[in-house]
Chain A
Amino acid sequence: MEILAYLIPVALFLGLVGLAAFLWCLKSGQFDDLDGAAARILLDDEVREDEKPS
């Protein structure tokens, strides 16, 4: 059962990476406009070239 000494930290680490990724998304405003995000996928690329991200 020595394998547990590796597997439990590995499992926890992966979980923490996921949690950190979610919290980062939240902080960077990716959850601010869910309706808009759903609609933006339908936009053509040429619009996005002109758009200058802030």
Chain B
Amino acid sequence: MNAVEPATKASQPLDAGGADCCDAGALASFTTAQSGPTPVDENTIAISDPSTFVSQTPDGLARLNLFVENLHCAACIGKIEGRLANVPGVVSARVNMSTRRLVITWRDGEADAGDLMRKVHALGYPVTPFDPAELAGAENREDKRLLSAMAVAGFAAANVMLLSVSVWSGHAGDMGEGTRTLFHWISALIALPAVAYAGQPFFKSALGALRGGGLNMDVPISLAVLLAAGMSVFQTAEGAEHAYFDASVSLLFFLLIGRYLDHRARARARSAATHLLALQARAATVVDDSGAQHAVRIHDIDEGMMVLVAAGERVPVDGTVIDGRSDIDTQLLSGETLPKLAAPGEKVFAGTLNLTAPLRVRTTVRADATLLSEIVKLMEMAEQGRARYVRLADRVARIYAPVVHILAAATFAGWIFFTDAGWQASLMAAIAVLIITCPCALGLAVPAVQVVASSRLLRAGVLVKAADALERLSGIDTVVFDKTGTLTLGHPELVGGEFTDAQKAMAAALARHSRHPLSRALAQTVPADGEALVADVHEEPGCGLEGVIDGKRIRLGSRAWCGGDASAVPSGTEICLAVDGAPVATFRFEDALRADSRDVIAALRKQGMRIELLSGDTEHAVARAAEELGIDTWQAQCLPAGKTARLEELAQDGRRVLMVGDGLNDAPSLVAAHVSMSPASAADVSQTAADLLFQGAALGPVLTAIRVARASTRLVKQNFALAFIYNTIAVPLAISGLATPLVAAVAMSSSSIVVTLNALRLRWTN
């Protein structure tokens, strides 16, 4: 796959190499791929009024929370914070790189929220306001709670171990009974508060499980920790030889490491999802009866309100156009590459992009027949139909927990009935079994692998959103692709036509003034410097552009509008250039395939995967793409329901399907599939539905993700095997009463270290 790797590397998101990384046009954020971080003219940016998101701090300052896109490196932080610090009235501006958020505070009245947003946007970082109360703040507190529990357990484990080592060497040497008991009491002094504090996450979860009438891994863990600590106090009071304080606190320490890693991976996945949800909740500009404009949050919008949609904004809710004519980019909704004309009386849908002119829209939110609600309904159905996948670790735990309890109980019973050791020694043996079998290694085995795998994938431009996505991805045998925006780049490119270089330069100079996809594609082909000045530019929605260059009136647009023969059937997508009313040139466009699509599909087929193509595009376009890519099974003009139906068929055949798609029309099938991926340019809803996101212009990350998923699942299984081997050696020792605190400590630490090191191997696998 050498052909694919360079392209993947070009889109590494975390390459903090300095200012250069931000100028690479290939970089795209996980939320909007089209807008590269190129500085924009401040005055031309359309921003919806953020005033509903401005809050007051206790000391009387105004505060605004923003999501920042295209954030990559130190230079980005410096640019944004430096720019805002120079604005009069601004008290502080702080970027959080991990969560990609920006908090600005300023003295109210001295600066304007919209103005500040525009300033950041002008640097090339699109921002979206959000309400921090809408995001789960609990996850962060839980994070800190686990970290401080881990710190306390670590402190206790280190100090108790220090004392225990002296006691163990004292067994070999000549430590007196008095000194030993003193050391045990000091250990108790450290261990008991530590257990009470650091053990809470486990005790709570165990209690919850018991109340619900079930068992989880935390039940044997809590039992082992509490019994070990309690029994040790009893032993110490008797002046006995062994105490298990070190085992109980180091057990907690190791388990908390695993718990913290697991929590962080989940929180990261969740924050990706909440980020996307918050992005949908933009404000809309509502015009009331008196003609005044207000910013209103999307979920506060009622049916029948009048909404203003500026050029360049996304349509916030479904509605009917009342006033204005504009081109609407519906690509994310229907998979069509070319914009449609919206005139008064026509419907527009939430999520589509208004390209050319402002529109006034009467909302129809409550109507059940809207496209979005239909898609959401389909997604819910798919969610219900999807057999709930049980994670490998949970399946293991389900068997493991009862086995551990039975073993410990059997040990106690065996010692009581078949030896004359008395209840204390019997209980100690049973506790030893609980401690030894405690799933330290198991608790670390999965989170460690998951953290290493996710960070390795993030470097390759893949964001893992669902916690069990990698496990599911490793088992797939079928890949279903969407066409537009997934196998193709989703925007047209100039492929030919009849024109001279001078005509192309003239057309590009005019095209630069428009957001229309065809204009953008044309403008990209010519470097911006040294271009002719265009005066008097005017865009006619649905027709094209008009302007004056060197005194000549030129038009760029549809054949009919440029004065050509309207009845001539165009071969594909094309626009004409007319000078003074006479057509002189034509430009032809095609939605180009991603450069490595062919290689990726060939590689997947070589791995024995079955490949299918399901597209909403026309039969002709799909057939040609399928042929070019060597895909035999394809369907054109699929509706969202048709796609999920096909996926259900495949699932009934026992196939595990990876769905790769980007459009809103793919969202239900992304939920229905065994596992799903979306490019970062996908519709918000699809990004939320997909288990993994990949960025960049290449399809190669799909292969990388499958490879890493397989490697990580293999490692998880190896780690389980290692933990199992360790148990088969240590458990007989514990049952026979030979597991002294020293044996328990050595066995526990060594098995944890082995599984962690084994997980780290993933960093170096290709």
Contact = CB atoms under 8 A, between A and B. Distances in A.
> Chain A interface: which size bin?
20 to 34
B91 A12 contact: no
A22 B186 contact: no
Nearest to A38: B16
Contacts of B14: 35
B159 interface: yes
Contact of A44 (B16, B78, B94, B179): B78
Nearest to A42: B74
Contacts of A12: 159, 190
Contact of A39 (B74, B86, B105, B140): B74
B140 to A, nearest CB: 8
B120 to A, nearest CB: 15
A36 to B, nearest CB: 3
Interface string A1-27: 100100010011001101100110011
A36 B73 CA distance: 8
Dominant secondary structure at the A interface: helix
A44 B78 CA distance: 8
B85 A43 contact: no
B92 interface: yes
B514 to A, nearest CB: 37
Contacts of B186: 8
A32 to B, nearest CB: 7
Given A22-B151, A50-B85, A11 B159 contact: yes
Contact of A54 (B74, B92, B98): B92
Contacts, number: 80
A26 B18 CA distance: 28
A16 B159 CA distance: 10
B74 A50 contact: no
Nearest to B144: A26
B151 A47 contact: no
Nearest to B91: A52
A11 B162 contact: yes
Interface of A: 1, 4, 8, 11-12, 15-16, 18-19, 22-23, 26-27, 31-36, 38-44, 47, 50-54
Interface of B: 14, 16, 18, 73-75, 77-78, 81-82, 85-86, 91-99, 105, 140, 144, 147-148, 151-152, 155, 158-159, 162-163, 179, 186, 190
Given A32-B98, A39-B16, 8 more contacts: A16-B155, A18-B155, A22-B151, A35-B14, A36-B77, A38-B16, A39-B73, A42-B16
18 contacts: A11-B159, A15-B159, A16-B155, A22-B151, A23-B148, A26-B151, A31-B147, A32-B96, A33-B97, A38-B16, A39-B74, A40-B77, A42-B18, A42-B74, A47-B85, A52-B91, A53-B92, A54-B94
